[in-house]
């Protein structure tokens, strides 16, 4: 059966690796016409070459922290393809794990610029064209903290994702009935570089990371699995606004059962990871 995403002009920010790359891969397989972004020419070209084996993929250099670059991305896409059907604000990152007072403030600023201002710029860029045509879908990526709960030792990253959630819900109420669909998608814990090669700042965060390998094993999933779910949501959605969370209340329990079975049957694979430790921040007061 042909996917409803076939020939959809799809922009995915931050898609040269990790979850963004997996989204691009699954969208290309579904028949979408995919435009990915990255910050360096080398990684962008490598990703395009790899992804093109599964469909139509092109790319554009873009740093989502730079407003004009994001708008140029949208403008160039419309000039080439005539429209934007799907825009996925995926670009973002977590600089490090640590208690909020141990993380250097500049890292918080950098995360806010990428995770939040990048989402804002992308929203402006996409909706400038979508609202005029009264059609299209905008996807914002949630994450840890998007449920509003305390999220040590990734509290500052979580705060940026709480912002994305509040922003998305507010936007949904403001553009309801416009013809543009809005999706908030929380992919859960994924085995990407952000989790398999984390930086941990401060002694308290270091202590909390003692059981990180076990948590990663029973909660971590491949980014491909999360990307497949996002594609399914996009194929089936007919609502103005929908939110999807991969992490269900029963997910930890099912993860523990799976790990228990793997231990019993000597199957499964322990995720590989390497933690880098740094000293906590001390303000010059």
Provide the CATH number for the domain around residue 119. Answer: 3.40.50.720
Q: Which among 135, 156, 134, 136 has a CA at the least distance from the CA of 145?
A: 156
pLDDT score, position 191? 85
Range of the domain at 33: 9-192+222-250
Angstrom CA distances, 124 to 38, 87, 117, 149, 184, stand at: 19, 11, 10, 28, 16
Burial classification of residue 54, based on how many CB atoms lie within 10 Å of its CB (0-12 exposed, 13-18 middle, 19 or more buried) = middle
Distance, in Å, from the CA atom of 20 to the CA atom of 37, rounded to the nearest integer, reads 9
C-beta pairs of 19-23 under 8 Å, 24+ apart in sequence: 19/90, 19/141, 19/187, 19/190, 19/192, 19/223, 19/226, 19/227, 20/88, 20/90, 20/91, 21/47, 21/51, 21/223, 22/222, 22/223, 22/224, 22/226, 22/227, 23/88, 23/90, 23/227, 23/230, 23/231
Does residue 261 lie within any of the structural domains? no
Instruction: Kindly tell me the sign of the dihedral angle through the C-alpha atoms of 49, 51, 53, 56.
Output: negative
Does residue 281 lie within any of the structural domains? no
Distance, in Å, from the CA atom of 215 to the CA atom of 218, rounded to the nearest integer, reads 5
pLDDT of the chain along its 285 residues, tens only? Answer: 789 999 999 999 999 999 999 999 999 999 999 999 999 999 999 999 999 999 999 999 999 999 999 999 999 999 999 999 999 999 999 989 999 999 999 999 999 999 999 999 999 999 999 999 999 999 999 988 888 888 899 999 999 999 999 999 999 999 999 999 999 999 998 888 877 888 999 999 999 888 887 777 768 889 999 999 999 999 999 999 999 998 878 777 777 777 677 777 878 777 787 889 999 999 999
Q: Which among 50, 69, 191 has a CA at the least distance from the CA of 124?
A: 69
Does residue 113 lie within any of the structural domains? yes
Find the angle CA(7)-CA(246)-CA(134) to the nearest 5 degrees: 40
Considering 121, 129, 157, 281, which one is annotated as catalytic?
Answer: 157
Tokens linked to 241: 């606004």
Does residue 87 lie within any of the structural domains? yes
Count of structural domains, the chain: 1
pTM score, whole prediction:
0.93
Does residue 201 lie within any of the structural domains? no
Does residue 277 lie within any of the structural domains? no
Does residue 17 lie within any of the structural domains? yes
Does residue 99 lie within any of the structural domains? yes
pLDDT score, position 49? 97
157 catalytic per annotation: yes
């Amino acid at each position: 059966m042909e996917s409803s995403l076939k020939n959809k002009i799809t922009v995915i920010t931050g898609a040269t690796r990790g979850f963004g790359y997996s989204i691009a891969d699954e969208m290309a397989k579904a028949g979408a016409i995919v435009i990915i972004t990255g910050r360096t020419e080398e990684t962008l070209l490598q990703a395009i070459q790899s992804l093109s084996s599964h469909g139509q993929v092109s790319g554009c250099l873009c740093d989502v922290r730079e407003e004009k670059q994001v708008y140029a991305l949208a403008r160039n896409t419309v000039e080439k393809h005539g429209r934007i059907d799907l825009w996925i604000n995926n670009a973002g990152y977590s600089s490090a794990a640590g208690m909020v007072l141990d993380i250097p403030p500049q890292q918080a600023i950098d995360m806010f610029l990428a995770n939040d201002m990048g989402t804002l710029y992308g929203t402006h860029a996409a909706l400038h064209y979508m609202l005029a045509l009264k059609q299209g879908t905008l996807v914002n990526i949630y994450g840890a903290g998007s449920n509003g709960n305390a999220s040590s030792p990734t509290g500052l990253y979580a705060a940026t994702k709480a912002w994305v959630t509040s922003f998305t819900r507010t936007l949904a109420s403001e553009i309801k009935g416009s013809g543009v669909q809005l999706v908030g998608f929380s992919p859960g814990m994924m085995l990407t570089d952000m989790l398999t090669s984390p930086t941990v700042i401060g002694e308290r965060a270091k202590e909390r990371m003692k059981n990180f390998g076990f948590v990663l094993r029973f909660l971590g999933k491949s980014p491909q699995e999360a990307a497949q779910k996002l594609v399914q949501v996009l194929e089936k959605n007919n609502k103005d606004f929908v939110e999807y969370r991969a992490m269900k209340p029963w997910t930890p329990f099912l993860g523990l059962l799976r790990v228990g079975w793997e231990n019993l049957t000597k199957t499964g694979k322990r995720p590989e990871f390497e933690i880098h430790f740094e000293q906590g921040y001390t303000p010059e007061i």
